[in-house]
Amino acid sequence: MAARGVVLEVDSVSKSFGALAALSRVGFAVSEGQVFSVIGPNGAGKSTLFNVVSGLYAPSAGRVTFRGHEIAGWPPERINRLGIAKTFQITNIFPAISVRENVRVAAQSRAPESGRLASLWRSADVEARVTELLEPFGLATRRDEPAQNLSHGEQRYLEICLALATEPTLLLLDEPTAGMTPGETKDATALIRRIALQRGLTVLLIEHDMSVVMGISDRVAVLHFGEKIAEGTPEAIRSDPRVIEAYLGGAED
Amino acid sequence: MAWRALAAFAALATLPALPGLPTYYLLLAFDALLFGAIAMSLDLLMGYTGLVSFGHAAFYGLGAYATAILLERGVLSVWACLGAALVVVGLYAAIVSYFATARRGIYFALLTLIFAEVVYTFFRYTQTFGGSDGIQGLPDALLWRGVAIDTPRRKYYLVLVYLAAAYAICRVVVTSHFGRVLVAIRENEDRARFLGYNVQRYKMAACMISALLTGTAGAIYPIRSAFATPDLMLWTESGEFIISVMIGGLGTLVGPILGGAFFTILRDKASSFVDWYFIVIGGVLVLIVLFMPAGLLGVRRLVGFRQWRHGA
């Protein structure tokens, strides 16, 4: 694997919950600017993998390295401050406050005041950044709406906005198009690709929907029962017999 | 908002000038405003951060004892009393908030309650501080040399100035960077962590601010009442603070001030008419919960989310 420009390295990571091995010795490397997808059937360990990388769980064994930092076991807020932002499979926003306030609280997390005493009486001016974040997702006109009033698709976009607002260099997307119609999924996929390019983001994507993965990924890894069974370009994965056997061969969802 | 607040405080400032206002009512107004200020401080936690403290009576009582102990020993300066209260309450609150915010949900409420009961028990059974009688018959405090806070009018202005200052602090805090994070924590604590916020630190800071404001209110109380008793720290007192916040409306600051004042006046009126006044209070509270579940001031929030939109 090309060592040049590797941003995130997951090195034989295992995670067990009691007797259940959710991940066993999973390893891969994501290079700068790549869209790297992790696919696999339900229960393959994809979300567990994300939770380890983003800091919700400490791995039972193995190492996670991000830009030279060993981040395995760090709390989520510390990992986020290092430049990794995550979106959630089940929409995870601030429901009762406005769309604008949602993004504002996320954006100010990178303001110089953040974490300082002055944050008690000062408020960073992030208005311009909020607008800039909402615009591409078509949410600018909905900014004063309480987030819970948005449609499902809009809430999925807001979810991505919150993550982008923390100015990550690595974006973890956990099934960003979950629950979207095929039309919405197509738009969302194109949008994600465009924004990743614009911002020079590296993206680690978990997906269920093969059409999304094949359309935007530079590289794909396949998980099956907590183990990585294949990794390669989308074309290689599509024709890999083990993958077809484990995943594509089963019932399409 | 600022204009309306200024107008409200100006109106309150003219209260002692009302011709023929009995001293009794001026002191009742003192109690109402003090209780309102405490409810407002608690609202920082309950309404903005989503944490219910069952131990605010301990902050209040510790502040009161700080003043009482100094006055009893002849240290009469208000500033010394307030300073001592801030130090004592600050130390205690740092310990409580560190442990209480390490846990989530009901554990926060339980830990604040348990710590407060320990403090109550300590003062209830320590004879140095008067045991169950507390410290009685305190002299008047001095604002500065030669100026004693000895008349009801001066006492009233003391609490009014405190309320205005506390309100200004709370208002600035809730509209700041920090206040936005508190709301985010209330709405979705996990997501706040994934946005890079150290949630426990923010919760601790919110607890400290709330506790220090409540402790200051406690420090002012013996200046009016001339006593401090362990009953000030009883858990029922904490319960009344919570009720006041609920009556007024969570997350509104002004609402809990009204709620605290309303509760104080209701208790006073009901208790002067009948012995079983708690039933009257209970009945009124049930009606409020049934017909105004968002509180006296919370209705607005349900209608238009105005405060979030115009939060800045």
Check if B195 contacts A (Cβ < 8 Å).
yes
Average pLDDT per consecutive 10 residues, chain B (312 residues; last block may be shorter): 86 89 92 97 95 96 97 95 98 97 90 97 94 93 89 94 97 94 94 94 96 98 95 94 92 94 92 82 85 74 44 36
Of the partner residues A80, A98, A101, the one whose CB lies closest to the CB of residue B196? A80
Query: Is residue B28 a contact partner of residue B266, using CB atoms and an 8 Å limit?
Result: no
Asked if A77's CB is within 8 angstroms of B193's CB, the reply is: yes
Q: Which residues of chain A have pLDDT under 70?
A: 1-4, 247-253
Phi then psi for B303, rounded to 5 degrees? Answer: -70, -50
Cβ atoms of A38 and A46 within 8 Å: the answer is yes
**B262 token code pair:** 């309303």
How do strand A202-207 and strand A35-39 relate by DSSP bridges?
A: parallel
For chain A, report the end-to-end CA distance as a whole number of angstroms.
Answer: 32
Question: What's A82-98 look like in SS3?
Answer: CCEEEECCCCCCCCCCE
Q: Which among A82, A73, A65 has a CA at the least distance from the CA of A27?
A: A65
**CB within 8 A of B231, min separation 6: which ones?**
B134, B237
Closest residue on chain B to A100 (Cα): B309
Min Cα–Cα distance to chain B from A31, Å: 23
Q: What is the pLDDT at residue B298?
A: 65
Using CA coordinates, name the residue in chain B closest to A126. B177
DSSP designation for A166: T
pLDDT at res. B168: 96
Q: Which sign does the torsion angle of CA B281, B284, B287, B291 carry?
A: negative
Place of tokens 């809430």: A155
Per-residue pLDDT, A214: 85
Cα(B41)–Cα(B48) distance, integer angstroms = 11
Residue A99 and residue A148: Cα distance in Å, rounded?
9
C-alpha count within 13 angstroms, C-beta hemisphere, residue B224: 25
Give the closest residue to B84 by CA, choosing from B253, B266, B271, B212. Answer: B212
Cβ pair B76, B202 in contact under 8 A: no
Find, in chain B, the residue whose alpha carbon is nearest to that of A78.
B196
Q: Cβ contact (<8 Å) for B195 and A106?
A: yes
Which backbone phi and psi does A227 adopt, to 5 degrees?
-120, 150
Asked if the C-beta of A87 comes within 8 angstroms of chain B's C-beta atoms, the answer is: no
The predicted pLDDT at position B302 comes to 47
- Amino acid A83 reads G
Distance from CA of B183 to the nearest CA of A (A): 8
**Cα three-residue angle B201-B206-B211, rounded to 5 degrees:** 125
**A149 close to B (CB below 8 A):** no
Enumerate the residues of chain B whose CB falls inside 8 A of the CB of residue A162: 191, 195
Q: Which of B177, B197, B309 sits opposite A77 (nearest CB)?
A: B197
Do B62 and B123 contact (CB within 8 A), yes or no?
no
Please give the mean pLDDT across all residues of chain A: 89
Measured between beta carbons, which residues in chain B are less than 8 angstroms from residue A101?
Answer: 180, 183, 308, 311
How many interchain CB pairs under 8 A, A with B?
A: 102
| Confidence (pTM) | 0.89
- The SS3 of residue B228 is strand
Token pair belonging to A198: 């614009």
Closest residue of B to A148, CA-based?
B187
CA distance B306 to chain A (A): 10
Report B:248-307 residues touching A (Cβ under 8 A).
Answer: 305
Q: Is B208 on the interface with A (CB under 8 A)?
A: no
Alpha helices in chain B (DSSP H): 2-13, 23-43, 56-72, 78-100, 106-125, 152-175, 177-187, 189-194, 199-225, 235-248, 254-273, 277-291, 298-304, 306-309
- Nearest-Cα distance to chain A for B254, in Å, is 19
| 3-state SS track over B106-162 | HHHHHHHHHHHHHHHHHHHHCHHHCHHHCECCCCCCEEECCEECCCHHHHHHHHHHH
Looking at residue A143, its pLDDT comes to 92
For residue A99, the surrounding DSSP H or E stretch is: helix A99-107
Provide long-range contacts, Cβ within 8 A and 24+ apart, for B297-301. B297/B248, B297/B249, B297/B252, B297/B254, B297/B255, B297/B258, B298/B248, B298/B249, B298/B250, B298/B251, B298/B252, B298/B255, B299/B249, B300/B252, B301/B249, B301/B251, B301/B252
Q: Which residues contact B34 (CB under 8 A, 6 or more apart)?
A: B159, B162, B163, B217, B220, B221, B224
Contact B172 A110 (CB under 8 A): no
DSSP B304: H
Rounded (10°) CA dihedral A126, A130, A131, A136? 150
**ipTM at complex level:** 0.88
Query: First vs last Cα of chain B: how many Å apart?
Result: 11
Contact A101 B197 (CB under 8 A): no
In this structure, the strands spanning A227-232 and A219-224 are: antiparallel
**Inter-chain CB proximity B187 and A96 less than 8 Å:** yes
- Top residue of A110, A120, A129 to mutate, by most chain B CBs within 10 Å, is A120
**Rounded (5°) CA angle B225-B228-B232:** 105
